[in-house]
Structure 1
Amino acid sequence: MTQPGPLALSPAMSDALARWLETEAATRDRSSHTITAYRADLLAFLSFLGGYSGEAATPKSLAGLKQADMRAFAASERARGLGARSLARRQSAIRSFLRWISDREGYDLSPALSARSPKFARSLPRPLTPVQAQDALDVVSTNHETPWVAARDVAVMTLLWGCGLRISEALQLNGRDWPFRDSLTITGKGKRQRQVPVLPVTCNAVAQYLSLCPWPLEADAALFRGVRGGRLDGGIVSQALRRARAALGLPPTATPHALRHSFATHLLAAGGDLRTIQELLGHASLSTTQVYTGVDDAQLMSVYRAAHPRS
């Protein structure tokens, strides 16, 4: 027998979903990309419930959710080809919404919330080696016909590699943040602030860019400007690194975020402790930082195998 298709959301459910997303954006400082992903996750879930039960989901109908309903949704998503990692992320968003609505409406949703997420092997970050990172910056420095644009891209990438910033954090810097002192105060995810040491090489790269930049340094304007004077878009930096990647034969994983990974792994290899690296990266949980120990171990084993090949 053919299963009925998903039904449209009820007005009450649409309103509840919009309010939850607004709450996530306002109180948890979720990015626009995260909010878009959460909306897609919940729409998939609520649409499934509509088709599964034969009537549009409402806030009231959620009160009767059981663990079996959550398992049925997970089975449906896996049948559609959704991987374990993506399903776990989707279920995390759903649980957040269910906790919010249970507090708001006074429901006991513990049966549904007790459903387990699928286990998956966390993939290791793909950092660049120090030589690869330096080679990439060298290529970027000569890979644009406009000198100040090339200097700008190098300065941004130097911040990512030298300070472990997310690209969004680097591009949110304003004119008032310059000149850098011994450290920068960075506001990251969840509006958590952290102090990040700044190396002289980073200051020199930014100073070189500013000396060539045609736009004046203004306290309330972006530190890193696009060619039209607005705040630089991260996609432009990605394009510059993509060109360098092609010139050097680096893997597709050589992205701006890989420079942040490189900061962490190079620091760990030099003897940095995990707790300090956690603070420098702005991770809320140490378990997030611990993934870099796997990278260090993997690199060690790679060197070992190269030195001691099996016959």
Structure 2
Amino acid sequence: MMTDKLARALGWTSLGLGVAQLAAPRVVTRLCGVDDAPGATTAARLVGGRELLHAALLLGARNPAQWAWTRAAGDMMDLGVLGRAAADRAGARRTRALAALGAVAGITALDLACARGSAARAKGPLQVRASITINRPRDEVYRFWRELENLPRFMAHLDSVRTINQRRSRWKAKGPIVDLEWEAEIIDERAGDLIAWRSMPGTGVSTAGLVGFTDGPGGRGTVVDVSLEYGVPGRKVAAAVARMLGKHPEQQVRDDLRRFKQVMETGEVLRSEGSPEGHRALRQLHQRPAQPIGGRA
């Protein structure tokens, strides 16, 4: 998304500014017209450390735009300092302080735009996308998924799916406090190509999904593309489930697809000596860590 790309760019900006302020604080204070202020060099280094923190958040986060507010808050502090510096100085120093003030104001506008974009996105539905290639024919992969009662075999958050009729089904998931249940309906289906579904209104969970099936490169295997969307309160449900599982929803979907690949290619979720538990993915969550079963003498 454009907001995340802007956030990454701002992260690189923070990295450059942080390195410059830590490596050459006197040069930075002179360019900003504040080199005559007591403690200016120390202040520049502190600001440099803050910029490196911004860089770490913006470049290292999965959703970097949400951290743009931290940069915006720092910008406000810098604008105040530079504004006072420009008012208290004259001549060349005042000119440099005004130039620095203008540069920071421009960056502040970008930071605020990024932060507002993140806030607007947070109010919308939570969207998750993932894909995987499975070494099985497309029709076979499609048919297995279309039999919705198979889904708990590889989807860790599902306890059961019960088919009501050709279009509707009842889903049950283990929540952090109580079980979650809802009805869903298939809203679009093209045999061998895609299945799209959504939760029924008034069932307490707002979610929708689409899974597409295409031939793999060179006609070998099947590429499975999954898109999920959680609304409100479904978004809160997704966050609660993520906390329970200790994973981001996108990572959970990727793990589900890896289990799906194992089921399709081997007939079961692969298990080690430390994970002997059942064929349902949900049961895999409660197993003990693998232990050594012996070594060479």
Q: Give your verdict on TM over 0.5.
A: no
Structure showing the higher helix proportion among its residues? 1
Higher relative contact order (CA 8 A, sep 6+): 1
Structure showing the higher strand proportion among its residues? 2
Give the shorter-chain TM-score range.
under 0.3
Query: TM-score, with normalisation over the residues of structure 1?
Result: 0.24
Query: TM-score, with normalisation over the residues of structure 2?
Result: 0.25
